[in-house]
């Protein structure tokens, strides 16, 4: 009986022992969990092709470049596993044979010469550092078993790829590949892979930039083993051994610092992938450094390049020199709020086209005007009288733009721009007024560049895409026809050529802006593929005498445009929209002329929108009167019914009747009627301009 009870007790003990061990291990795992997240974050901002732009080290100064297994060369994985842990995919985290062999070697040598560590055990030591003692080894074994319990083999290998030390402040194969070889880990050669496979064994002693001979010997040892095991061809190994181990001093990524700083707040990832082009970014920064000597003291510049086919930002230079405090190099002027000057004028003309207020040949008035206390003037302090809309835009005349904005409505104009992502920043409590169109509100260069996409994207303005995963979001600002017409005018192609003579690819269309007091100089350009935004000035807002858009920003705009075109393949075409047609109008009245109508002294060919009757200038001036003119050109007061008398419409300007009318001192080819005098008959030829 006692024997039976003893046997039952032994069976119960044997049955309960595994359960007890399992519960003990489960409790130990809960009491001492894996420190998977106990690492200071180190972040890196990279270009769209993975090239690192700027690194942000962790609290200990460590730099990492996170990678996945798929982003690492198979050559490196082969070298790593075959040299460090051939049974990695099969053992449970600990290889008993390797541990026994290492223990025997240590005992016979009387010192630790081999740890028998698997890759899993090495990851355990990286996660939970310990002393090289017997107790430390037990701790390492326990952590290795925990890793195998909680993670897959691929997860463990990924941890090694991103945590292994590679000398100095480098951790992970990604950081090592970029720092030592200047290329992604997916493009490692056989020699590179062998060197980086052995480097974590002694990262300080084998650093290739400091000890190339030691590093070369260790690399060749790995190469020989790969040949002996038949993993790599012997001929490949022989050629790889001949490659010298010489590395230039490590160059840490130093591109787009202000852009990278901004991206930290937009993503929580350790590796932030952006849409920037690293090669273009490097060229833009080189260009900025070359321009530094041409800028006045305490001045800076900003540049942004956007691919308007998908709205990805390709280049971003926030200041002329990050390290120059005298030029406020730490201030990102791409996102700074500055006065845009005349850069907004194309928008008001495009919106007015859609409203039927004007067409490219409409008569506008560049004459003195005053609205309350607001009395705008031109950049050259002069006035040019009656001008066409296209001429006013090309010459960036202020008074015609104010005239059109007054009819369109400042509040409506500001609301339209805000709806597509271009807010105009006003002082607290201020409301939009006529000064908007001349820089009376603040704007940002990046938002301005995004709004200019409307002229390249058929009237739809889209938001900038800073990361590849950002969706393409766009809103209509104006009709495709209006956007096409304004873009052609800005490209100095306002003349309506036949389709077979009309350029299918639009050259650079651009607009400048100069803020009041010469504080800001802008230039925004749109070519067949890119939008280019340029700003120059002083970040502290002090004026720079002689700085204006055409002199300060346009030369830089042209250099960036040439740089882009030199590296751009096939350019997209920009055909004339179906809603845009050619027409002939009688200027300055604006009425269309049927074919064969000769009853006009000056004809202008122009683009018409939606085949509609173009508005006459009186919509804006509201000042016309009917007069009677003799065959010899004399104007006769009152109606006279004679065969030799013709009826004509006289256009009178709605403002500037003072000195602009007295003496008929307007431009000779567009003079209005002479001043009122108590005469019955007077000459009228000045009203019928010739070319």
pLDDT tens-digit series, residues 197-207 = 999 999 999 99
- Residue among 210, 192, 227, 514 at smallest CA distance from 377: 514
| Separation of alpha carbons 124 and 127, rounded Å | 5
Asked whether the bond before 685 is cis by omega within 30 degrees of 0, the reply is no
Q: Please report which confidence band the pLDDT of residue 105 belongs to, taking 50, 70 and 90 as the band edges.
A: low
CA separation for the pair 351, 606 (Å, rounded):
17
What tokens were used for 72?
């690492």
User: Residue 248's pLDDT is what?
Assistant: 66
HSE of 127 in the Cβ direction (CA atoms, 13 Å)? 25
Kindly report the backbone phi and psi dihedral angles of residue 569, in degrees, each rounded to the nearest multiple of 5, phi listed first: -80, -135
What's the rounded Cα separation, in Å, for the pair 375 and 416?
25
Q: Which residues contact 541 (CB under 8 A, 6 or more apart)?
A: 519
Query: How much is the mean pLDDT over the chain?
Result: 83
CA 635/CA 628 separation, integer angstroms:
6
Cβ contacts of residue 55 below 8 Å, gap of 6+? 42, 43, 44, 45, 63, 65, 252, 253
Mean pLDDT, residues 453-467 taken together: 97
Question: How confident is the model over 516-555, as pLDDT tens digits?
Answer: 888 999 999 999 999 999 999 999 999 988 787 788 899 9
Gap between the Cα atoms of 136 and 361, Å rounded: 86
The predicted pLDDT at position 129 comes to: 74
Evaluate if residue 688 carries a pLDDT over 50. no
Report, as an integer, the average pLDDT of 289-304: 95
Q: How confident is the model at residue 683 (pLDDT cuts 50, 70, 90)?
A: very low
Give the whole-angstrom CA distance, residue 669 versus residue 671: 6
Tell me the CA distances in angstroms from 293 to 256, 300, 323, 550, one per residue in order.
20, 11, 15, 19
Q: How far apart are CA 124 and CA 136, in angstroms?
A: 11
Percent of the chain topping pLDDT 70: 77
Residue scoring higher pLDDT (678 or 330): 330
Q: Are 212 and 247 in contact (CB under 8 A)?
A: yes
564 against 501, higher pLDDT = 564
8 Å CB contact between 633 and 348: no
Out of 120-134, 160-174, 383-397, 591-605, the most confident range is: 160-174
Cα distances (Å, whole numbers) of residue 4 to 8, 9, 10: 6, 9, 10
The domain locations on the chain are 1-31, 58-241, 623-691
pLDDT for 423 equals 97
Closest CA to 542 of 289, 325, 322, 338: 338
Lowest mean pLDDT among 72-76, 98-102, 439-443: 98-102
Rounded to 10 deg, the angle between the 398-408 and 410-419 helix axes is 90
- The number of beta carbons lying within 10 Å of the beta carbon of residue 230 is 9
Superfamily of domain 58-241 in CATH is Biosynthetic peptidoglycan transglycosylase-like (1.10.3810.10)
pTM over 0.85: no
User: Residue 553 has what pLDDT?
Assistant: 93
Q: Distance between CA 497 and CA 614 in Å, rounded?
A: 19
Say which residue, 289 or 499, is predicted with more confidence.
289
Q: Does an H or E element contain 626, and which?
A: strand 624-630
Structure tokens of 519? 């504080």
- In eight-state DSSP terms, residue 236 is H
Q: Which range (9-18, 43-52, 147-156, 608-617) has the least confidence?
A: 9-18
Q: Note the pLDDT of residue 686.
A: 33
Task: Inform me whether the pLDDT recorded for 352 exceeds 80.
Answer: yes
Q: Model confidence at 104, in pLDDT bands (50, 70, 90)?
A: low
**In this predicted model, what pLDDT tens digit does every residue of 635-678 receive, in sequence order?**
555 555 555 555 555 555 554 443 443 333 333 333 333 333 33
Are the beta carbons of 408 and 348 closer than 8 angstroms? yes
| 551-577: pLDDT as tens digits | 889 999 999 999 999 888 778 888 899
Read off the pLDDT band of 171 (50, 70, 90): very high
Residue 140 has pLDDT above 80, yes or no: no
Q: How far is CA 658 from CA 376, 668, 675, in A?
A: 17, 17, 9
Residues annotated as catalytic are: 84, 342
Which residue pairs, CB below 8 angstroms and at least 24 apart, start in 396-399? 396/342, 396/345, 396/511, 396/512, 397/366, 398/342, 398/366, 398/437, 398/438, 399/364, 399/365, 399/366, 399/367, 399/368, 399/369
């Amino acid at each position: 009986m006692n024997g039976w009870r003893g046997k039952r007790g032994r069976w119960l003990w044997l049955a309960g022992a595994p359960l007890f061990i399992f519960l003990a291990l489960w409790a130990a795992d809960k009491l001492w969990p894996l420190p998977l997240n106990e690492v200071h974050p180190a972040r890196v901002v990279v270009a769209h092709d993975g090239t690192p732009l700027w690194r942000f080290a962790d609290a200990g100064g460590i730099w990492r470049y996170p990678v996945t297994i798929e982003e690492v060369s198979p050559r490196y994985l082969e070298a790593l596993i075959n040299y460090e842990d051939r049974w990695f995919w099969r053992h449970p985290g600990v290889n008993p044979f390797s541990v026994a062999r290492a223990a025997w070697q240590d005992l016979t040598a009387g010192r630790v010469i081999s740890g028998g560590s698997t890759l899993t055990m090495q990851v355990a030591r990286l996660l939970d550092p310990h002393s090289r003692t017997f107790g430390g080894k037990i701790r390492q074994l326990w952590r290795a078993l925990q890793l195998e319990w909680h993670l897959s083999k691929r997860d463990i290998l990924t941890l090694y790829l991103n945590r292994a030390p590679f000398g100095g402040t480098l951790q992970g194969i990604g950081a090592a590949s970029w720092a030592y070889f200047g290329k992604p880990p997916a493009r490692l050669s056989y020699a590179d892979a062998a060197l980086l496979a052995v480097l974590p064994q002694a990262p300080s002693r084998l650093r290739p930039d400091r000890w190339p001979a030691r590093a070369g010997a260790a690399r060749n040892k790995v190469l020989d083993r790969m040949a002996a095991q038949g993993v790599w061809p012997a001929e490949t190994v022989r050629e790889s051994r001949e490659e010298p181990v010489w590395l230039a001093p490590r160059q840490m990524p130093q591109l787009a610092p202000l852009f990278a700083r901004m991206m930290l707040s937009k993503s929580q990832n350790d590796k932030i992938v952006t849409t920037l082009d690293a090669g273009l970014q490097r060229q833009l920064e080189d260009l900025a450094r070359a321009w530094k000597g041409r800028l006045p003291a305490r001045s800076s510049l900003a540049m942004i390049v956007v691919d308007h086919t998908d709205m990805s930002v390709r280049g971003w230079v926030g200041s002329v020199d990050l390290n120059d405090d005298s030029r406020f190099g730490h201030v990102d002027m791409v996102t700074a709020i500055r006065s845009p000057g005349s850069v907004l004028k194309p928008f008001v003309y495009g919106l007015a086209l859609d409203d039927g207020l004007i067409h490219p040949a409409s008569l506008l008035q560049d004459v003195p005007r005053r609205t309350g206390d607001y009395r705008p003037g031109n950049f050259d302090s002069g006035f040019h009288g009656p001008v066409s809309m296209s001429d006013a835009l090309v010459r960036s005349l202020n008074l015609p733009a104010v005239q059109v904005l007054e009819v369109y409505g400042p509040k409506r104009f500001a609301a339209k721009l805000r709806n597509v992502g271009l807010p105009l920043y006003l002082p607290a409590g201020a409301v939009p007024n006529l000064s908007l169109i001349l820089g009376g509100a603040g704007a940002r260069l990046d938002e301005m560049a995004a709004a200019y996409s409307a002229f390249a994207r058929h009237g739809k303005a889209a938001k900038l895409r800073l990361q590849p995963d950002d969706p393409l979001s766009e809103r209509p600002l104006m009709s495709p026809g209006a956007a096409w017409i304004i873009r052609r005018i800005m490209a100095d192609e306002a003349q309506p050529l036949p389709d077979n003579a009309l350029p299918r690819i639009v050259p650079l269309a651009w607009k400048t802006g100069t803020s009041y007091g010469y504080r800001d100089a802008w230039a925004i350009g749109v070519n067949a593929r890119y939008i280019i935004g340029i700003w120059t000035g002083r970040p502290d807002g002090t004026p720079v005498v002689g700085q204006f858009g055409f002199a300060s920003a346009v030369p830089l705009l042209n250099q960036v445009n040439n740089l882009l075109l030199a590296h751009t393949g096939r350019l997209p075409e920009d055909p004339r929209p179906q809603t845009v047609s050619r027409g002939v109008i009688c200027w300055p009245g604006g009425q269309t002329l049927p074919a064969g109508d000769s009853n006009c002294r000056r004809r202008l060919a122009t683009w018409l929108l939606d085949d509609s009757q173009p508005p006459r200038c009186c919509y804006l001036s509201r000042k016309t009167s009917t007069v009677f003119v003799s065959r010899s050109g004399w104007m006769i007061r009152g109606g006279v019914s004679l065969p030799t008398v013709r009826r004509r419409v006289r256009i009178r300007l709605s403002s500037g009747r003072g000195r602009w009318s007295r003496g008929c001192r307007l431009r000779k080819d567009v003079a209005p009627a002479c001043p009122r005098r108590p005469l019955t008959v007077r000459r009228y030829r000045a009203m019928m301009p010739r070319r």
